[in-house]
Amino acid sequence: MIQNVGRGFFLVALLIAACVYSLQDYQQDIKKGIDLEGGTELLYTIPTELIPAEQRSSVASDVKDVISRRFDSYGLKEISVAISGNNGLLIQLPGFDNDELERLKGQIERAGELNIHLVSTAEYKTTAVIAEIEAKMVERERALVAYNMMSAQQRALQDSPADLDRIVVYRPSTVDGLRGAPEVVENGKGLRVSGSYIQEASPTTDQTGGPAVGFTFGGAGSTLFANLTGENINRSLAIVLDGVAMSVATINDQIVGRGTISGNFTTEQVEDIVTILRAGSLPAKPKLESQQTVGAVLGKESIDRGTQAMVIGFLLVISFMLLYYRGAGLVANFSLLFNLLLVLTLLVIFRNTLTFPGMAGLLLTVGMAVDANILIFERIREELDRGKALPAAFQAGFQRAFWTIFDANLTTLLTAFVLFQFGTGAVKGFAVVLSIGIITSFFSSIYVSRLILTAMIRRNIIKKFSMVRLISKPNINFMSMRGVTRVISIVFLVLGVSFLFWRGSESLGIDFTGGTKLSVNLVRPTTERELRDLVADLPGTGDGTLKFEDLQVQSLGSTGTVDSSRYALKT
């Protein structure tokens, strides 16, 4: 049993108070996902003029991967990034405010190309020389476009346009839309280091204590950077991000492996630069074509039915625990509510976007916590049947159940770890939610339930465990059936895998295979259900000529689940 019950109750009360305070403090930051509330839809095109013809087919996919990493390194924002057509991106963002929306658009549209250049000497800083270099840069870009328009056979007969020995970059501007002062930097071999060698980027502070970006080179990049700085002491070095000289400083000594980007940044600007550097540079810079407000992916009817099902499921669980385990079930229900409070608080603190699958995951957490409590109570019942007194049965029951619960939670936690390590986007987000649920349910069932029951037993509030017993003395030799059950399990496993391969891509939804998006304009505002019925009655749907499998209906021009005259149909 827990020795210091008073201290334990103080800890639980402190956690409850902290959760309530946090939920009140963060209530404005609880964001609903695209599926529940809608948000903003951005359509981008990807210019491919500077990309060789044979590489263009994969450019959209490469850009999508980089932007996905920039948006959601931990999978908590639930931002949808999908390829549209041959060279387009369709991005849907939950209900962010205007400032955060502009930040996210900036992360999409920045190429993220970082290079470190040696600053050219004074003779290259005259107005005439700068104008000459700028003209050469324009000429080279045109030549590169023409070169990439050639066939592979034509390109094999001539060299690609050579890099310029020097290029013009610009200091940061204090006025939006205008360039800062020009700066000529060296661009030849050995006089610059590519940001592709950066191994890690993180927020730090500069010499004045202001926000800055720290970066570390890996492999050959560390050697190149050391050679560049060691051979050019007392000259200036420029750290250039997307053509802007973010930081220019004098080299006082050889620098090995690491550097700092400083420049009167705000904390948010540092976070954005770190995110971009970690995700990598874009092979092509997307161009915004359209922006519009969209409604919830799930219609009002679907959301209402799903919410109703989850509420009914939750009520059935707590009712069963109360009716079957009585007093102990009441304790288990309290630990369930405490667990939900912990999970919700942690998700809010982590700024997790609340989606419908996330809500279902919360209900799954309830089931995990209930399973642990049931195991504990049944172990206590077994010890009581052996003739032990209640305190001794309680102690032995918890000890016997502990390692079973621990093993089950540990294996699930390892699964969540694998999903987080190798997954992306929503998969990472699910892994985070799953991990939080496992840890909090383990704590609530093993510690909180035990704490309350310990106090009740010590104060003689519970003198016996009164529980319903459906089977008084089960005497089933399960081990004798292991051969039959193995065969049955293998048969079902083989059938399931075979059926999966037999169906092929038909088993995959639109998230995996892609599909078609249709925009429709109606003569009057219509509900989602009316539109679905209208689609179902279209000619050809009855005989299978026209199929709308896994149809998603999303309103355009407004958020939420209101009636609309403009919809997007996805199938």
Q: Hey, what domains does the chain have and what are their CATH numbers?
A: 5-28+301-473 (1.20.1640.10), 39-110+290-294 (3.30.70.3400), 114-281 (3.30.1360.200), 511-570 (no CATH)
Q: Which residue has the higher pLDDT, 137 or 469?
A: 137
Residue of 85, 106, 466 whose CA lies nearest to 93: 106
Contact 555, 567 (CB under 8 A): yes
pLDDT at residue 424, rounded to an integer: 62
| Tokens found for residue 231 | 């051979």
pLDDT at residue 487, rounded to an integer: 93
What proportion of the chain, given as a percentage, has pLDDT over 70? 87
User: The whole model's pTM is what?
Assistant: 0.70
- Helix, strand, coil proportions of the chain in percent (round to 5)? 55, 20, 30
Q: Does 373 have pLDDT greater than 60? A: yes
- Measure the N-to-C terminal CA separation of the chain; round to a whole number of Å: 57
Work out the mean pLDDT of the chain and round it to a whole number. 80
Beta strand extents in 286-364 (DSSP E only): 287-294
pLDDT at residue 14, rounded to an integer: 92
Mean pLDDT, range 153-168, rounded to an integer: 78
pLDDT at residue 54, rounded to an integer: 65
Bridge partners, residue 564, by sequence: 526
Mean pLDDT, range 64-77, rounded to an integer: 71
List the strands of the sheet with 564-570, edge to edge: 517-526, 564-570, 552-555
Q: Does 74 have pLDDT greater than 60? A: no
Q: Which residue has the higher pLDDT, 409 or 30?
A: 409
**What H or E segment, with its residue span, contains residue 373?**
helix 356-385
Q: Does 3 have pLDDT greater than 80? A: no
Q: Write the pLDDT tens digit of every residue in 195-249.
A: 888 888 888 887 788 888 888 888 888 888 888 888 888 888 888 888 888 888 8
**What H or E segment, with its residue span, contains residue 568?**
strand 564-570
pLDDT at residue 543, rounded to an integer: 61
Residue of 251, 245, 101 whose CA lies nearest to 169: 245
Mean pLDDT, range 478-499, rounded to an integer: 90
Q: Does 492 have pLDDT greater than 90? A: yes
Bridge partners, residue 552, by sequence: 570
Judged by DSSP in three states, 368 sits in helix
Cα–Cα distance between 223 and 245 in angstroms, integer?
23
Q: How confident is the model at residue 176 (pLDDT cuts 50, 70, 90)?
A: low
Q: Write the pLDDT tens digit of every residue in 89-100.
A: 888 888 777 777
Q: How confident is the model at residue 544 (pLDDT cuts 50, 70, 90)?
A: low
Q: Does 443 have pLDDT greater than 60? A: yes
The Cβ of residue 356 has, within 10 Å, a number of other Cβ atoms equal to 19
Contact 306, 298 (CB under 8 A): yes
